[in-house]
Structure 1
């Protein structure tokens, strides 16, 4: 397993980003995409249909994206994760502190709900009080998924030995990683 200080040679071209909800997967993908000359694909945008259902054809759309030579996306959704790992050359694991991840997610959820932000397929965040009663509320899911992501990354390391895994454990690790990619871009 690599760290932010390690050189990635060759440069990544097909990148998956793992982490719990709120870790910053989409933000990092958008930051890295222009530096790597890759397309950033937000899986939530192609996964969600009305009422938060998974759209028919989601797996086929993911398959079409990963057939490309240069892409970067989140490593999520049970249906998509093995497909992505089988084509990715690099898996960036945002293994950030729980307090940071949950804090980001709470701020994002509150802002989205207060602004009545329309998300994918017309969906909106549920009322904030639902975090207390919905077992799969995004904030509760994120809390539980931190350990699950750890298990999934370790399993991917075993199952896909050619996949480079870069573990980033702090904001400074993320910043250092982005800086190294930026430097290698010239």
Structure 2
């Protein structure tokens, strides 16, 4: 496995929805002392049930965030990925089974814990059919798309394809698991 330091000071973390990107970003942030930036928090308005910001406002927040000298940035948002990859120094992709991601979505939505990594401030979560469709249908095989994007970027990268590989990454890099 590639050493964590080889990914540099601006690391993108990509994963399909509800696969644990935020948790990994927080663990990396604590280990490296870099700020964790959760794109969902930039894309959605606080104190809502995940209401989206206007696209121009979200893109401006994203473009400002990527100017930082150090960061761990988690989230996908393919339409603004080229700018992010242009500033990134490394990438991590973790894929997981869509049924596991669906179970995580239900658990996190029903528990509605404010301390969850990447949680939207003041969010009033509710189960949404659009999100269920997103997880089970739209992003079922999105890991392949993100893997290609990382390969095309030429960034030093780490890919974890199974829960065991992700657990090994946590062990090898001595990351704290929540």
Give yes or no for TM over 0.5. Answer: yes
CA distance in 2, matches of 1:95, 1:178: 15
- Which of these two proteins has the greater Rg computed from alpha carbons? 1
Residue 134 of structure 1: aligned partner? none
Residue 54 of structure 1: aligned partner? 53
Instruction: Name the TM-score, length of structure 2 as normaliser.
Output: 0.79
Following superposition, the deviation at residue 8 of structure 1 comes to 4.4
CA distance in 2, matches of 1:41, 1:155: 20
**1:171 pairs with 2:163:** yes
The alignment covers a number of residue pairs equal to 165
Cα RMSD of the aligned pairs, angstroms, is 2.5
- Report the 3-state secondary structure (helix = DSSP H, G, I; strand = E; otherwise coil) of the residue aligned with 1:146: coil
Unpaired segments of 5 or more residues in structure 1? 114-118, 132-136
- Give the 3 Å change call, closer, same or farther, for CA 42–86 of structure 1 in structure 2: same
- Give the 3 Å change call, closer, same or farther, for CA 180–12 of structure 1 in structure 2: farther
How does 1:14-163 map onto structure 2 within 5 Å?
A: 14-49=10-45, 52-55=51-54, 56-112=56-112, 120=120, 123-126=123-126, 128=127, 130-131=128-129, 137-143=130-136, 144-158=138-152, 160-161=153-154, 163=155
Instruction: Name the TM-score, length of structure 1 as normaliser.
Output: 0.76
